[in-house]
Structure 1
Amino acid sequence: MSDEPARRIRLRRDGQQWEFDRAIRDTGRVYHFQPPGRGGLPPSVRMHDMISKHVGRGAQRAERLGAAEAAAGHHLTALEHYFDAAVKYAQAQHPILVTNAEKRYLHGSAIRCYDEVRRLAPAPIEHVHVPWRGSTVSGYLHLAPVDGPAPLVFFIPGCDMTKELVPHPLYNWAAQRGMHLFVFDGPGQGECNLRDIPLTIDGYEDAASTALSHLLDRPDIDATRVGLYAMSFGSWWGARFAATDQRIGAASFPWASICDKYYLFEEESPRYKQLFSYLTRAADEDELDEFIARMGLEEILPRISCPTLLTLGEYDPRSPLDEALALFDRIQAPAQMWVFADQHHMTNVRTPANATPMWNLDIHPTGMDWLGDRLSGKPLDRPGEVLYLEPNGPSPHDPDAPAKRHWYE
């Protein structure tokens, strides 16, 4: 692969670029336009092409602050700045849809800063590399502070994420609950993109299974208690992984993106089709459309055998509720769906733009509790039910949580 590959293929939705750039300028968002307030992009970003430079400059400043605090002996403060830098560098590299010198610089800087996070973190974080199909797939193994073998949560991030973004090293939802956490860069994510590993229909689950085999050889991991946490588009990869690897004992799919991919690629932000043209290395739009046409999960979901949790917003534009409910009904394993009323994608997460959560806890610790219960042998209560959770309503674990599918039922 040359250092400066050809420009990405042209797509029909590129004709919407002027509207897309205006939305970015006005909202500070590249996708998920529904939440209130401005997104996380600096006000100086007025079009998509400016994101990498302006977010990257913020990352450079955070890295300098981290170095200064480390030199002063303020290790926890330094860790915070280095983590901020790693996140910003990872976010800055993501909009670059060719593997060029700028993308390599930004991605390499994210890993460099995360190496400092690992060095300063209060608990061990290992950068794990696993041989796969003549190349390498990688992830971070966050070890829980426990004695003896402990359960493992295999974390699959979304398609707009890398393994450097979650969890915060000082607030690890799995480790706090006595579980190791492995955050994976599979095909289509992070280091795989830089290694020119293309996204294929079935490659992700094979890479994940290979990584899981590598992890389960370790004496500090309990091979009989493996949970899967696959969020956003990661739930598409996660569903295929859970359906093909019987070692997974429980699976949680927050912000589930399991529906027809027409909604994501034709009705959501133009960014997604542009991104997947890069991830798949499609030669033209016809080839990309053929790939998308093969992404249905109708025959995959019935093959999942472990307890399964799906959560989604009532008005998630990529997951129309009626279609998501029909797919949920195809799961034959003990399963439950939580529908967060009036929410969209990325439901009930505390962010500056959404400081008041729609429910009383973030989905991540709640999801880890759900996995921990299943891996400890606690049976799923109310299997097969859809819990419809109104804003500021009851916990899904409350016996009075309503089991219904729509607001009018």
Structure 2
Amino acid sequence: MKDPRVSSAISHWAPRFVSNGVLLADFEEVTASLERWEDWCAAWSRRAQLHEDLGRDSLRNGFRLTAGEHLVRAAIYYHFAKFVFVQDPAQMRAAHMKAVECYSDALPLMRPPGERVAIDFSDQQLFGVLRKPKESNCPVVVMAPGLDSTKEELHAYEDAFLNRGIAVLAIDGPGQGEAEYEIPICGDYERAASAVVDWIEERNDLDAERIAIWGVSLGGYYAPRAAAYEKRFKACI
């Protein structure tokens, strides 16, 4: 009999996993193999490793686009391996760092490619990923993830903007993603958002007069709050 936590995860998370890049066949196979919640992170990490290996093999053989696709998928699987797996922080963080590694390795292979960026914030740094549809003068949308989400999970939403000539800057805000270990989560997200806008204004390839902010889940609270306080945002989604 399945652990009720596993059953709950399957029933509640399937649409999110699949819409954000998990193959339905992988979701069904991995979750069917699970009986205990304690095995969740390891099971998803094993399936992530399969896609990571396919990606690295493809890269060695010169198939860059295929390599990038597999590495992005591996990153998403590692992310969902660590997703709310809070009872084992060491295992959770190890899976998270693999997600960051795979996604970072995929950045130059994407179309358009991505750039890992660091943004100064309160004597520390927030990390993000910038992707641009062209080389210069791009309007940009800042993408804010939810409570247990990360910048890597937002990959599935980016093409809607890139295909319309808008750059995307997905960030891990305070208490999110890479920042969750050292920087506490904060309700006054506008402080982080203002730091991001300051960083955008220093770039000569982004149009600082056309900045929007987008958010999902908790980010759906952060985005309008940031837009209310930070007047340099011209739109909010």
Shorter chain as denominator, the TM-score bin is 0.7 to 0.9
Larger Rg: 1
> Gaps spanning 5+ residues in structure 2: where?
16-23
Q: Which residue of 1 aligns with 2:142?
A: 154
Give, as a single letter, the amino acid of the residue that structure 1 aligns with 2:137.
P
Residues 166 and 200 (structure 1), Cα distance of their counterparts in 2 relative to 1, 3 Å cut: closer
Deviations 1:195-244 (A, max 9, x none): x2111222x22112101211121111111111111122211111211111
For residues 330-409 of structure 1, the aligned pairs below 5 Å read none
Instruction: Give the Cα separation in 1 of the matches to 2:75 and 2:26.
Output: 19
More helix by share: 2
Deviations 1:293-326 (A, max 9, x none): xxxxxxxxxxxxxxxxxxxxxxxxxxxxxxxxxx
Instruction: Give the Cα separation in 2 of the matches to 1:116 and 1:88.
Output: 15
Matched, 1:167 2:155: yes
Matched, 1:127 2:130: no
Deviations 1:333-359 (A, max 9, x none): xxxxxxxxxxxxxxxxxxxxxxxxxxx
Matched, 1:45 2:34: yes
Give, as a single letter, the amino acid of the residue that structure 2 aligns with 1:174.
F
Instruction: Give the Cα separation in 1 of the matches to 2:56 and 2:13.
Output: 33
Give, as a single letter, the amino acid of the residue that structure 2 aligns with 1:226.
I
For residues 136-285 of structure 1, the aligned pairs below 5 Å read 136-146=125-135, 148-168=136-156, 172-194=159-181, 196-202=182-188, 204-252=189-237
1:104 CA displacement: 2.7
Give, as a single letter, the amino acid of the residue that structure 1 aligns with 2:215.
A
Give, as a single letter, the amino acid of the residue that structure 2 aligns with 1:219.
N
Give, as a single letter, the amino acid of the residue that structure 1 aligns with 2:127.
S
1:29 CA displacement: 3.8
Count of equivalent residues: 227
Q: Alignment partner for residue 69 of structure 1, among 46, 58, 73?
A: 58
Q: Which residue of 2 aligns with 1:104?
A: 93
Instruction: Give the Cα separation in 1 of the matches to 2:104 and 2:55.
Output: 12
Normalised to the residue count of structure 1, the TM-score between the two structures is 0.51
Deviations 1:100-137 (A, max 9, x none): 33223211111111122112123231111112112211
1:248 CA displacement: 0.8
CA contact 2:117–2:130 (8 Å) conserved in 1 = yes
SS in 2 for 1:166: helix
CA contact 1:29–1:39 (8 Å) conserved in 2 = no
1:157 CA displacement: 1.8
Percent identity reads 30
Normalised to the residue count of structure 2, the TM-score between the two structures is 0.85
Residues 133 and 122 (structure 1), Cα distance of their counterparts in 2 relative to 1, 3 Å cut: same
Residues 209 and 176 (structure 1), Cα distance of their counterparts in 2 relative to 1, 3 Å cut: same
Residues 232 and 26 (structure 1), Cα distance of their counterparts in 2 relative to 1, 3 Å cut: closer
Give, as a single letter, the amino acid of the residue that structure 1 aligns with 2:152.
E
> Gaps spanning 5+ residues in structure 1: where?
1-17, 253-409
Give, as a single letter, the amino acid of the residue that structure 2 aligns with 1:189.
Q
Q: Which residue of 2 aligns with 1:22?
A: 4
Give, as a single letter, the amino acid of the residue that structure 2 aligns with 1:201.
G
Instruction: Give the Cα separation in 1 of the matches to 2:117 and 2:187.
Output: 24
Residues 244 and 180 (structure 1), Cα distance of their counterparts in 2 relative to 1, 3 Å cut: same
CA contact 2:146–2:216 (8 Å) conserved in 1 = yes
